[in-house]
Structures are given as C-alpha cells and as structure tokens.
Amino acid sequence: QKEVEQDPGPLSVPEGAIVSLNCTYSNSAFQYFMWYRQYSRKGPELLMYTYSSGNKEDGRFTAQVDKSSKYISLFIRDSQPSDSATYLCAMSGTNAGKSTFGDGTTLTVKP
Amino acid sequence: DTAVSQTPKYLVTQMGNDKSIKCEQNLGHDTMYWYKQDSKKFLKIMFSYNNKELIINETVPNRFSPKSPDKAHLNLHINSLELGDSAVYFCASSQRSRAETQYFGPGTRLLVL
C-alpha cells in the first residue's frame, strides 16, 4: 500500500464550481503537507503548505489537514479555466525536504 | 529571470549511452534536489544536496550520480542508460530551513530508445 493515496480523477467541472481535491496517508510521522499545481509540460509549482493540522486559506484556495483521520484536502472556490492542471499533494516528516507525493489529480475547468 | 533552470530540455538517446543533465538556481538557496516523474505523473525524490553535501540519497541505481560543484548548481550523470530511465527529471531548490517550500525547474524530458 502506498504511503500517500490521492483521489485519482480526472475531474471535470464547470467554471465557477467549488473543487475538492483529496489525499489520505498512512505515515503518522508526516508533519508538512503541501499542494503543488503542475501545468502540462511544466514543473510543479507550490501552491500552499500547512504544518501539522488545521486550515490555511490563500485567495480562492483553502488547504485542510486532519491528522486524526490522516486526510488532507485542497478546496478551490470559483474555479477558473486557468486552474486546469494536475494537482499533487506531498507530505514529509521532520525532514521537510524528503517529500512523498501522491499520484496527482488532473482537473479540467470548462468555460 | 529564470529561478531554476535545467539543460537540456529534451534528451533523446540510445540504450547504453551516458548522459548528463545540468541544473542551476539563482534564488540563493542552499539546498537542491533531483526528482524523477514517470509517465503516470508520479514524482519521486532521488537526491538532495545541501551546500555541496549529499543529504538525501534514495534507492536509486548506482548508474545515477549527482554532483554539486557549488550550492547554485546540481548536475545528474546517468551511465549505461536503460529504457526504464525514460522519464521527466526535475531539479528543485529551497533553503534547508524551509525545505517545505521548494521551487522546481521546467524539467528535462529523457527518452531512451
């Protein structure tokens, strides 16, 4: 079983929809939780990170971490066609540089 | 100004050849990384260097050898290329104290025929 499981997708939503992207994990030592966005044929770009449990908001994006359930989510409000990309969750323990990634969820937002 | 750059962008080569990929960052970071992304988009860390010292060395065949001449550069040399080495290789950088915040390069697409 993989340490990090990500909802596989693909996901297709109309513009303006609220999108929920989710990952579960098995390693209780994970402390850092990251979300990356990767456009086609580009490098991953860090969207947000959270340390330990809780919520973090940045514009239309909200990251949630529930360590008791070993579950993390990224919510995108008022989704735009420019949000169409693959979203990768990543997690690490005390060595924040050694991240374990999910397989990615490809999102398409249709105008 | 490109923050993390990689050369070449594309690499097509025959099995058995040796090739190198270069990475440079101008962000003033002290830590650099190599990742491999397979055809299913799975991203896995291979190596990390901090100030020219190897600090992460995942289970990677000995044919892969990273080298960091200084903290702004990290190269990856691959010997005796195999079909399974075909992937996109990403370089990334961060401050070691902020390793959760990594900046990725554009990737090098390697195809081994």
- Summarize the confidence of residues A84-104 as an average pLDDT: 92
Could you tell me the pLDDT band of residue A53, with boundaries at 50, 70 and 90? confident
Cβ contacts of B105 on chain A, cutoff 8 Å: 43
pLDDT of residue A8: 84
* Digit-coded pLDDT (tens) for B9-54: 999 999 999 999 999 999 999 999 999 999 888 999 999 999 888 9
| Strand locations in chain A (E) | 4-6, 11-14, 19-25, 32-38, 45-51, 54-58, 61-66, 71-76, 85-92, 100-101, 105-110
Could you tell me the pLDDT band of residue B101, with boundaries at 50, 70 and 90? very high
| CA–CA min distance A31, chain B (Å) | 10
- Give the residue numbers in B contacting A (CB under 8 Å), as ranges: 4, 31, 33, 40-45, 48, 55-56, 90, 92, 94, 96, 98-107
**Any CB–CB contact under 8 A between A30 and chain B?**
no
